[in-house]
């Protein structure tokens, strides 16, 4: 919306230049008389001058869906600007993926919660687990798959079958 003020601000800046040339006999304006249009727009919109430039580029290159998401506050200016140099189909795909992520994360959390069972997590230290793994029969662990996930806390998930193979269930940790 602040960009709608650009034509008026440019006219004001030209007026300042004209006045400066008439009044002083030169085109050198004092600092107070100078008007940086991008800076004025940024101040009105409460954003950085760089974001003003990015939004101008977005208006020229972004797909309508991405612009709407930007207006709704669903996506930030910088992210939309980074996506805007991609083909329109990819912009839509990136936007769709961004909308789906919270639902996907919720689904993953529900699946993990279902597999955790009703009992409290095992109170097993990593040191105890390492000792248990080092004393386990190596042939039992040949088929163990390890998957790394992006999680916000330090946790280790293990199948019940592996838990039994390591003899941890017999130690009444659960």
User: 11-55: per-residue pLDDT in tens?
Assistant: 666 665 555 555 555 555 555 456 677 787 777 777 788 888 888
pTM attached to this predicted model:
0.44
- Please report the pLDDT score of residue 78 as a whole number: 92
How do the domains of the chain map onto residue ranges?
2-108, 119-171
* 108, HSE (Cβ side, Cα atoms, 13 Å): 9
Nearest by Cα to 10 from 31, 55, 41, 32: 41
* 18-50 CB burial, b ≥16 within 10 A, e <16: eebeeeeeeeebeeeeebebbebbbeeeeeeee
- Is the pLDDT at 173 greater than 50, yes or no? no
Q: Is 111 exposed, middle or buried (0-12, 13-18, 19+ CB in 10 A)?
A: exposed
- Please report the pLDDT score of residue 32 as a whole number: 47
């Amino acid at each position: 919306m602040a960009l709608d003020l650009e034509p008026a601000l440019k006219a004001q800046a030209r007026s300042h230049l004209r006045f400066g040339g008439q009044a002083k006999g030169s085109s050198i304006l004092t600092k107070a008389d100078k008007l940086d249009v991008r800076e004025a727009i940024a101040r009105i919109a409460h954003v950085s001058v760089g974001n003003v430039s990015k939004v101008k580029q977005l208006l020229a290159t972004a797909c309508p869906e991405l612009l709407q998401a930007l207006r709704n506050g669903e996506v930030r200016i910088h992210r939309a600007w980074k996506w805007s140099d991609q083909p329109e189909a990819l912009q839509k795909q990136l936007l769709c993926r961004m909308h789906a992520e919270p639902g996907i994360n919720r689904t993953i959390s529900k699946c993990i919660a279902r597999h955790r069972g009703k009992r409290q997590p095992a109170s097993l230290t990593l040191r105890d687990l390492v000792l248990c793994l080092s004393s386990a029969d190596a042939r039992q662990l040949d088929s163990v798959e390890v998957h790394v996930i992006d999680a916000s806390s330090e946790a280790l998930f293990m199948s019940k079958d592996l838990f039994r193979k390591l003899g941890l269930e017999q130690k009444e940790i659960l």
